[in-house]
Structure 1
Amino acid sequence: MDDPWQKAYDFAVEVARKAGAEIRKAGESEIRVMTKSSTVDLVTKTDERVEKIIIGSLKEEFGEGTHCFIGEESVAKGETCVLTDKPTWIIDPVDGTTNFVHGFPFVAVSIAFAVNKELEFGVVYSCLEDKMYKARRGKGAFCNDEPIQVSDVKDINKSIIISEHGTDRSPEKVTKIFSTMQKILCIPVHGLRGSGTAATNMCLVATGAVEAFFEIGIHCWDIAAGAVIVREAGGILLDVDGGPFDLMSRRMVSANNDIIAKRIIKEIEAFPVTRDDAPIQKK
């Protein structure tokens, strides 16, 4: 029996590489930006151009109207963000826009594919590093075609944890974010890190470079591809309260194992965020 999604998986890798080349080409020349939700959440012309390249290529390959799309820039312009049973691409064209604008060298293209609301594969191309991470459900995870797996560390005191402070600068949320980081650092752990891109952070968990990544306020397009890669590398995904991972909840802990994840969860000070699939409020 033919594999129904192998072609889509292979094409996603090809498109991610094409998109990454476009990002590198833009380089430091893309300095004029517009703001989205805040001055910290930057969107460049490169974001919009790369998303059009990705979605246009996929529609051309698979036929207009056959697949659904959830793209960061499309949602920012008012399109709905609802995951249905239909074949759906979940895309972040430039994960790490702020990094890109400042020349900080971690920028990723993130492409995931879901059917019947289940993630089938994920591709994350860290284009400035030229590292292609990819995984298919039940078939393992890879970086530049070499198998990867999470670390075997079970002692939280010997772990490195990744997190980000997000784009919301409201004092209440910033206080909780840094209070959580302080408590985790003082467990103590070996260190806290952050690359500035959720997709890359998840791939670092998958390769065993760090033991866990957690964040509240991320979006489905930031983590969908990374979620497949972490799972296929042997890791786990949970909600920040220890419950099941929910792609649309904007809350996530990804870790090498249950022991590390649950120890981190004890220290997380959660705060409310609006789900990605919440109904759009009419003005």
Structure 2
Amino acid sequence: MTYQNLKLELDGRIARVTLARGDKLNPLDWSTVKELKAVVARIEAAPGIDFVLLTGEGRSFSAGGDLDGYIRLYRDPAAFQAFLDDFFAMLTGIEKARAIWIAAVNGVCVAGGIELLLACDMGVAAESAKIGDGHLNFGQLPGAGGSQRLPRAIGLLRAKHLMLTGELLDARTAERWGLVTKVVPDADLMAAAGAWIAGMSAKSAVGLAGAKRLANLTLDTPYEEGLRREIAFVHRYATTEPDATEGLVAFKEKRAPRFGTPRKD
């Protein structure tokens, strides 16, 4: 499958997704959202892809929506609803995916761009990155989950500050606030994300997916129910997944674990 607005590279356990309209600051227009939605589904269906590295071409991760496109969509309520549904499905797909999605934030990350970042599991930013909400700077509101994911990520007061002021944070401030977990020199951005993947590649793929799933319970599950679901999930994992036993045996035998091998007993 060929894409007009992004690039997809598959390399073993890693998929690299690059928004490829750098001349336009990588807008998240409807066609791009549809392509991203298709890529999310393709990666999720592909066996053996455990990590996705997401970035933008040129000097922007993504500056958000295509304003001219929005004007046209606003005049067609049914089409605008379909666009919002596709955007929701794409971001929710990333959030709930088995694979670990890592955002490598280069340059401007605003409006729809921050909504895309917030759906990912981890984020590293280049020192030159600028990250914020920015919707109200143009009389808009977040419509792809930003108003819900942002307070969960950085707290209600800081989220309202970004939404109401439209301020763009520098990379170091974004790190302190919890929008990304690491800031590196621009030239080291992709290497830093790659180092995260290399470290996680030594871990159990089933365990990684399970840890992501458990953490995501906090998004929509009451506390006590989440605790009960954790117990049920971990019981099933420990008693049915070979990697759980292999990790303990490897520790006991003072060797590196060999995850992904079938249970012998």
Task: Work out whether the TM-score is over 0.5.
Answer: no
The two structures have a TM-score, normalised by structure 2, of 0.27
Choose between structure 1 and 2 for higher RCO, CA contacts under 8 A separated by at least 6 residues: 1
The two structures have a TM-score, normalised by structure 1, of 0.26
Structure whose alpha-carbon radius of gyration is higher: 2
Give the structure with the larger helix fraction: 2
